[in-house]
Structure 1
Amino acid sequence: MADLQPHSVSKGHVADGTVSVPLFRHVMACLDRAPQAMQILHEASALASLFGADVTAIRVLPGRPSNSPCADPVDWELTRREEIADLRRLAEAAGAPLGMAAIVACGSPMACVEQEAHRRGVDLLALGAGAFGASHRWGLGGTARHLTETFHGSVLIVPEEAAGDLPRKRRILVPMDGSPSAEAALRYATAIARSRDAELVVLHAVSLSGLFGLGDAGQGTGSPWREVRQEADRLAADRIRRLRRLLPLDGKNNRVRRLDDDEPRRALMKAICEERGELVVLSARGLGQDPDLPVGSTADYLLSRAVTPVLLIRNTEPSSHRSTRQAPRRLAETWRAR
């Protein structure tokens, strides 16, 4: 696995032998007036600084589409200037770079963000769980979910629970299932942990109850079930050893935590709550390869119940985000378009 060093990513690249892998080049923070807006911009600026990326802040005001003239151009211009001034004040408080671009648009939040992100070549979108609207207690708001599923690059989600919460431990959490995409996400997490002098914790959930199609009714103490369980435990132990070898050697507190005897998604969510890390780095897709799902089932489960900022890594291949215009869309969207 390529090892990301903070100094090697400061210009947006990392050396992997003779291969130079482009990382984030442009981060866009979607900021309404929600309490977590400052934290969204702070997290976005920190990641941009680490990966040598540009930063843009965007605020969308409700109204007609941005390509249509507003009812009162003078009133709109005054409003736009006030909002940009507010974004500048927020940027100063959040420690954003001086060269941050500020955009105020009028229209549909989804359309405005997608249009500006595409125009500026954004490959990391940072937003709140209830961006430009109300979020649900268990789930993303409509705009946040739409952008998470359709945006072609990576997404940083900051939940409402994270705003004003007690300081979390300097700890970066990485759920891993052994897939190549999860290992690629670990590279990003390693660089972030090093830059913040944070502990890196890999979470690996092992499901013994659902092996080979066996549910709870298939469990028992007989010899066949015991052999299945022993084989599963051996495979899990081998994977844990491999995950430990992937951890950087210079992090003395880095560790792998094995999660047993629970449904994997619930076990991961429970561990994230227990660890109280400051950031979860998660691959958008894992071992599941359903092309009709824009986000894997585990990633969707954790995003919908996030209690700490989650960085959803998408398009981790060497060609980076720019080789792909967007994530796969659901079949339902295809039917609605007919």
Structure 2
Amino acid sequence: MQNSSVSVESDPGASPVNAPGGNRGVVACLDRSRQWHRVAQHALAIAKAMSIPVTLLQVLEAGPAGDSRADPLEWEIRRREASGFLEPLAAILCEGKSPVGSEIVEGHAADQICLWAADRSPELIVLGARGEGWQKNDGLGNTARSVLDRSAGSVLLVPATDNSSADEGVVRYKRLLIPLDGSSRAESVLPFAIRLAEAVKADLLITYVIPVPELIESGPLEPDDIELRERVVRRNERVAKEYLARVCGYIALKGIQARTMVLRDGDVRSRLVRLVADENADLVILSAHGHSGRSDAPFGSVTAHLIAHSAVPVLIVRNPSGLAAGCGINANLADARIAGLCA
């Protein structure tokens, strides 16, 4: 399929961010779904906090299956319509003093987003969890799922029912929820979370959900088995509290105060989803994998459940070494090894 790219001018005073290979900022993937404005708002909020540029990217889907390219006249009409949509939006966003650029490409949405990201290596891809035409009330749309499966970088997914705080159309992160499980993978999000919390003056809530220990069962558990499981839970709860205390010590060294919460008795995934609502979190930040991460899967089961069911945006941090420069996501990764730092 032949691709075409059209740059759309934004504010004359904004820095150009459209040059191939030159964008290490945030890319907001916009379509005509009802959540496009929230995608743009979240992209701008992160970019302003990290002092990095924003690119508004819209993919014009090609013609019916089998057509190598849309009719040239039809393409020009659609391109002009897209330009009329992106240009004023970019100008409005530029009023926030963040460099904003915009670009239109043609083709399959997921393919073009992944190709664009591979070429430009953005710090963060922001897109809606469900795009235009998605009829289900939950789960991921095809584009979001494909981008998550194929892209190597970090992704911020904005749900269709976004309950995060906003004042006069501007996203305000008041509370950031950081789930940890004691693994270095999970901890790797902390440098970025700390920097974001400091920039937007948000509260940090660090949580550890203790899974129910699994015992082999061939029938009803004996009293000794139940007591054994309870002893394991109590031991894990004690260790989790000690661990989160060390995490708070690390965060305090950065000048940030955090609140911790240890939860027990229940499925880790469902407890986190409920916690998001109970604590009025505005953003969940977590690693793609935790303790049980598999290299052959793009993300773990807890992350998969959250991105499908969370009522607020979820930022999945991946490829820490590639995010160390620029906006500082996962900068000084070795320094974030909490257990070794504060033990």
Q: Secondary structure at the match of 2:201?
A: coil
* Gap runs ≥5 in structure 1: 1-23, 323-338
Q: Secondary structure at the match of 1:303?
A: helix
Equivalent in the alignment of 2:174: 170
Equivalent in the alignment of 2:33: 34
Equivalent in the alignment of 1:115: 115
Match of 2:259 among 255, 261, 270: 255
User: Which segment is superposed worse, 221-230 or 103-112?
Assistant: 221-230
User: C-alpha separation between the residues in 1 aligned to 2:262 and 2:162?
Assistant: 25
Query: Is the Cα contact below 8 Å between 2:163 and 2:282 reproduced in 1?
Result: no
Distance 1:214 1:135, change over 3 A: farther
User: C-alpha separation between the residues in 1 aligned to 2:218 and 2:125?
Assistant: 39
| TM-score, structure 2 normalization | 0.76
Distance 1:247 1:321, change over 3 A: closer
| TM-score, structure 1 normalization | 0.77
Which amino acid is the alignment partner of residue 88 of structure 1?
E
Equivalent in the alignment of 2:197: 193
User: C-alpha separation between the residues in 2 aligned to 1:214 and 1:318?
Assistant: 44
User: C-alpha separation between the residues in 2 aligned to 1:125 and 1:256?
Assistant: 29
* Aligned pairs (5 A) from 1:4-153: 25-64=24-63, 68-71=68-71, 73-94=72-93, 99-134=99-134, 136-153=136-153
User: C-alpha separation between the residues in 2 aligned to 1:219 and 1:160?
Assistant: 46
Equivalent in the alignment of 1:157: 157
Equivalent in the alignment of 2:213: 210
User: Which segment is superposed worse, 134-143 or 185-194?
Assistant: 134-143
Q: Secondary structure at the match of 1:255?
A: strand
Question: Identity percentage over the alignment?
Answer: 29
Match of 1:303 among 300, 307, 327: 307
Root mean square deviation, CA, Å: 3.1
Query: Is the Cα contact below 8 Å between 1:30 and 1:131 reproduced in 2?
Result: no
Query: Aligned pair count?
Result: 295
Structure 1 residue 166, shift from structure 2 partner: 6.9
Structure 1 residue 216, shift from structure 2 partner: 11
Distance 1:113 1:133, change over 3 A: farther
User: Deviations along 1:97-147, whole A, 9 cap, x unmatched?
Assistant: 564222222321111212222222223110001135416322111111110
Moved over 6 A (4+): 163-169
Query: Is the Cα contact below 8 Å between 1:55 and 1:97 reproduced in 2?
Result: no
Distance 1:85 1:140, change over 3 A: same
* Aligned pairs (5 A) from 1:295-334: 295-317=299-321, 320=324
User: C-alpha separation between the residues in 1 aligned to 2:44 and 2:165?
Assistant: 20
